[in-house]
Amino acid sequence: MLIYPSGVDVSSSALRFLTQQLRRHRRTIGSRWRRLSAGRQALLTLAHLRVGHTYAQLAAGFGIGTTTAYRYVTEAVELLAALAPGLADAVRTASVKAYLLLDGTLLPIDRIAADRPFYSGKHKKHGMNVQVIADPFGQLLWASPALPGAVDDIRAAREHGIVYTLAEAGIPCWADKGYRGAGGTVRIPCWGRWETLSAGQQAVNRSHAKIRALVEKAVATLKSWRLLRKLRCSTIRITSLVQAVLTLHLTSSE
């Protein structure tokens, strides 16, 4: 395999943070020697998450075995996922915001047609449903555990307790028509075909769309980690990957 210099567009603060967590973990478990230092293991993990390099590519680039590369990445991802904020923590942090933005996104996965639970009729592809909460400026605040793609947004929001938590905190939340019937503090556009809406309802929907549009920035932030654009791993690992990315994003944006 040919090896060439490359760059990873991640802030140095994320690398330093992950390196510190790995060093602390190694001291805790009493690990005396590794093929890679904590800093190199952190860089390997970031290359996997940000660029989507396979374990074979990582192994060749870092001079280790494929199994070792998998083990190093898994260890770092689990450490990061454990540090991700829960929904209650994220809402508590966002309590000073005037309102929040809520949306769902589909993370495409490599599955066959027989895997119906993972097939999203809305997106016409297999994937995992992840709910995203952003502030009024579109900054990513929280990402939910992943559910099969066949689960629609309103059901996912209820299963994660998003509607209840926001209502309890009294924080208004703007969402699209996919959350119809959510209740609580979730606000959606006026229902109906555009031509059947009154002039006032059309004005409300235009205003709603302008406010809610910034949530796409948070979704794009999540998918800027290219591994999440096409996942080829077991579906039970996807939640940990999403939570790891969330932790890295929040750390680097502080």
Are the C-beta atoms of 120 and 156 separated by less than 8 Å? no
- pLDDT at position 9, please? 87
Are the C-beta atoms of 240 and 76 separated by less than 8 Å? no
- pLDDT at position 113, please? 62
Residue 22 CB: number of other CB atoms within 10 A?
25
CA torsion 206-210-212-214 (nearest 10°) is 160
For 176, 184, 206, 213, 238, the CA distances from 190, given in Å and listed in that order, are 10, 16, 10, 16, 34
The ranges of the chain with pLDDT < 70 are: 112-115, 254
Q: Note if the pTM is more than 0.85.
A: yes
- pLDDT at position 114, please? 60
* Beta-bridge partner residues of 62: none
Cα(85)–Cα(93) distance, integer angstroms: 10
